[in-house]
Amino acid sequence: MKIHHLLSALIMAIVVAACASQGSVATGPADSIDMIVNADYVLTMVGDELIADGAVAIDAGQIVAVGPAAELAGRYSARTTLSDKGTVVMPGLINGHTHAAMSLLRGVADDLELMQWLTEFIFPAEVRYVDAEFVRIGTELACWEMIRGGTTTFVDLYYFPDAVAEAVERCGLRAIVAPTVIDQQSPDAANGQQSLEQARDFARRWKGRNSRITPAIAAHSVYTLPAEWVRKVRDAAAEVGVPVSIHLSESPYEVEVTRKNFDSTSTELLDKLKFFDNHTIAAHVVWPTETDQHTLAARKVGVIHNPTSNMKIASGISPVVDMLAEGVLVGLGTDGAASNNDLDMWEEIRLAALLAKVSRMDPTVLAAGTVLNMATSGGAAAVGLADQVGELRAGLRADLIQVSISDLTFVPLFDVISHLVYVADEHDVTTVIVDGKILMRNREVLTLDGEKLREEATRLADKIAEGLYPD
């Protein structure tokens, strides 16, 4: 009998310990942590997991637990608790392709095809006006806009990368910063050789310097770089151990030029050059062949779909549905504000879904959950950060947002994911947290001075306008 009681007690102890390890039973004093974020719903983006009356526990910049709010309240004592009613907590959005500082060129040249837009307006304006101060102000302006809209990670391709990285340090976002190598005079280099040397030096200096900033190197494109320079970018990135990025298969012009010069597609050329040996973030990918798609999937290239920019410049409609079916890693991006003309990822989410449906004349393709995944978990995989962000689960970095669903536009709420994709916009984001630090609270950006940015950006814009529009 005593043995039976002892055995029963032992079994009970094991059960209690197991339950405690899963967060369902508190067996001792509550653990002290930095923060608990409560919400009506926690959308983890781990499968289709949606936790009603849920919470996320955060400590030292990391997610330590996700589950029912009552359960986490019993397990943890938080120094800060956010308990806004009428909210969804979800992973922060990932903008896989942008040129942040080009926020200062918003509206400079509109309604033009890609090559005219680039060669007649953007490239000349950049050489004339872009310097480190321009990049600092433009990047901060973009960071303010992205924080306001719930973007927590972005991939940037531009010039003066130190100014970009330092702006990211100050504003608190997470970023992959890729200085652009291009075989022509650019704002920070006289030629391809100088731009490559500077990019390599930047990557060396910033690798490991800040856990929120990943240095990379960008080859602008196969139509602005000779094959030997694409190879040099590949080698420099491999030497330092950083990712690469490139505009790939973006327009009919690129398809034609690459076929004429190399008798291949851009993807075939890059594969032949072993460019994809580095983790590659490929922007646009509007015109891949079936063979290209197979290659992109096999090489685990992260493809970034930019629906607004692709439509505005009439580059075409990316076969996103086919690429996903092939197993390609696909994320979403805004491109720069000079070709979009904003950095609103909610707009990209919605347009990606709608564009796919109408282009295929099939409303079932690219469902709401799939496209939201492209902006979070799938986007993280595409940019190479799936081990850090994109989902709400223990062990990942605490990058998350609160989205208000209290507005009448969310009533009735039959399907949370549907409303996030087809109803929500950037103004519904109320709180942004990156690495456990609050960057925006109650729709107020805390890490950047908006009025100062307005003054600085207006001053630079006046200078640009005087040069571009003298009359």
Residue 202: CATH number of its domain:
3.20.20.140
Residue 24 placed within a domain: no
- Domain end: 355, 383, 411, which one? 383
Residue 22 placed within a domain: no
Greatest pairwise CA separation for the chain in angstroms: 101
Please give the pLDDT value at position 16: 36
Domains contained in the chain, number = 2
Indicate the burial class of 230 (C-beta count within 10 angstroms; 0-12, 13-18, 19 or more): buried
- Domain end: 357, 383, 409, which one? 383
**Run of H or E including 59:** strand 50-59
Residue 6 placed within a domain: no
% the chain with pLDDT above 70: 93
* Average of per-residue pLDDT across 400-428: 97
Nearest to 156 by CA among 214, 198, 204, 225: 214
Please give the pLDDT value at position 470: 66
Same domain, 438 and 373: no
Same domain, 36 and 185: no
pLDDT band at residue 266 using 50, 70 and 90 as cut-offs: very high
Same domain, 367 and 420: no
Same domain, 304 and 406: no
Same domain, 326 and 286: yes
Name the least confident of 64-78, 117-131, 203-217, 435-449.
117-131
Helices (H) and strands (E) in the chain, counts: 18, 18
Q: Looking at residue 41, which CATH number applies to its domain? A: 2.30.40.10
SS3 284: strand
Q: What single string gives the DSSP state of each residue in 306-368?
A: -HHHHHHTT-----HHHHHHHT-EEEE----TTSSS---HHHHHHHHHHHHHHHHT-TTSS-H
Q: For 387-397, how does the pLDDT look when each residue is reduced to its tens digit (9 = 90+)? A: 999 999 999 99
* Average of per-residue pLDDT across 185-206: 94
Please give the pLDDT value at position 471: 63
Same domain, 82 and 141: no
Domain range for 255: 93-383
Distance in angstroms (rounded) separating the CA atoms of residues 67 and 73: 10
Same domain, 379 and 425: no
pLDDT band at residue 465 using 50, 70 and 90 as cut-offs: confident
Same domain, 257 and 132: yes
Nearest to 403 by CA among 113, 167, 183, 93: 93
What is the gyration radius of the CA atoms in the chain, in angstroms?
24
Same domain, 104 and 244: yes
Q: For 146-163, how does the pLDDT look when each residue is reduced to its tens digit (9 = 90+)? A: 999 999 999 999 999 999
Residue 157 placed within a domain: yes
Please give the pLDDT value at position 18: 39
Residue 391 placed within a domain: no
Residue 75 placed within a domain: yes
Q: How many CB atoms lie within 10 A of CB 454?
A: 12
- Domain end: 335, 362, 383, which one? 383
Residue 7 placed within a domain: no
Same domain, 415 and 402: yes
Same domain, 249 and 134: yes
Same domain, 311 and 412: no
Residue 467 placed within a domain: no
